[in-house]
Amino acid sequence: MSRLLEVKNLTVEFDTYGGIVKAVRGVSFGVDKSKTLAIVGESGCGKSVTVQSIMGLIPMPPGRITGGSALMDGKEILGLPLSEANKVRGKRIGMIFQDPMTSLNPTMTVGNQIAETLRYHDGLSFKEGRKRAISILDQVQIPEAKARVDQYPFQFSGGMRQRVMIAMAIACNPELLIADEPTTALDVTVQSQILTLLNELRKERNMSIILITHDLGVVARMADEVAVMYAGQIVESGTVDQIFYQSAHPYTMGLKEAMPDRDESKTHKLKPIDGSPPDLFHPPVGCGYYARCPNARKVCEKTLPPLFDVETSEMPTSPGSHQSRCFFHHKDAAKLTTLPRDLYTRHTGVNA
């Protein structure tokens, strides 16, 4: 499977009155062609900043990308001049933002907002753009598209506005669609419709999708691969089956324990994750999850764990396909009740 997008060691910071916020700390992931990658984690972990940085949408200043690369079909897209970046945004990469009411222009009809993208990237006339806008509104299942193309965002319900956002994002047939919390604030029925629509569009158009969410139910339904983020880092990555059935990082396990089970025959007590995420003004030098982890050891506090390959007898994996940023996946950790400093030093050559 060929990679459409490859992000390596992305680092993003923000200057604030309180100091420097290290929002994204060395994030790496890849998206295969025609596949869906879900990036999951609690609010503030860096999910949205990561994808907005790739799109060139973070304000600079106060934000800045201090390291890393993002290769699309082998070509660097980070730090492009504005004229070049605009050829990628909307054309090769489409984006659905979190809140359609604040993302849509209230002074323009939805048809003009879709047609504007088509006129800019594909050179269509006003009449041709309007015709294509009607066709795209039909594709995203907005009823009476010919009449509604001339209406304004306030005349649409929340679910319909989200469909308009999807229509704008797919107007130019992008290779990659970034969906940032596309079902936030929608009721369960509408949420299901939106997810079904995204899946159908991915198959019809042979698109790749990056899905940003904190909802594990959405991940289970939509994703082929999953990257779990915590405190600005990827702490676990793998296929959706590996993440759900062979969870390897304590944070992933904590998220699952806090997830309700629809099986009424089971008695499942929800277990919240105690504590709070670390302060990213002063991120921990060791494992970001150390203060909340029930399995933490002394080495975790002062030394950042690398991403270890996860190997299980139940689900054999190829190198790099399932990784966890946890010392308990050190090759000798299974033999020990603790992970002493000298073990880490022998493995990495770094004094813990």
User: Residue 153, CB half-sphere, CA atoms under 13 Å: how many?
Assistant: 20
- The pLDDT tens digits of the residues spanning 247-306 come to 889 999 888 887 776 666 666 677 888 888 899 999 999 999 998 888 888 888 888 888
**Residue 341 clears pLDDT 50, i.e. is over it:** no
- The pLDDT tens digits of the residues spanning 189-215 come to 888 888 888 898 899 889 999 999 888
H-helix or E-strand spanning residue 326: none
- The pLDDT tens digits of the residues spanning 77-136 come to 998 888 888 888 888 999 988 877 788 899 999 999 999 888 888 888 888 889 999 998
Quick check: is 318 in a domain?
Answer: no
**Residue 246 clears pLDDT 60, i.e. is over it:** yes
Nearest to 303 by CA among 336, 270, 339: 339
- The pLDDT tens digits of the residues spanning 41-56 come to 988 899 999 999 998 8
Quick check: is 149 in a domain?
Answer: yes
Quick check: is 169 in a domain?
Answer: yes
- The pLDDT tens digits of the residues spanning 290-306 come to 988 888 888 888 888 88
Quick check: is 261 in a domain?
Answer: no
Quick check: is 158 in a domain?
Answer: yes
Please give the structure tokens belonging to residue 220.
């289970």
Residue in the block written with tokens 């504590």: 275
Overall number of domains in the chain: 1
Give the strand pairing for 208-213 and 225-230. Answer: unpaired
Quick check: is 121 in a domain?
Answer: yes
Quick check: is 74 in a domain?
Answer: no
pLDDT, residue 264, reads 62
Range of the domain at 115: 100-173
Residue in the block written with tokens 């006003």: 126
Whole-structure pTM value: 0.87
What Cα–Cα distance (Å) separates residue 166 from each residue in 111, 140, 159? 13, 7, 11
**Residue 228 clears pLDDT 90, i.e. is over it:** yes
Cis peptide before 62 (omega within 30 of 0): yes
pLDDT, residue 22, reads 94
Label residue 343 by pLDDT band (50, 70, 90): very low
Please give the structure tokens belonging to residue 57.
């949408």
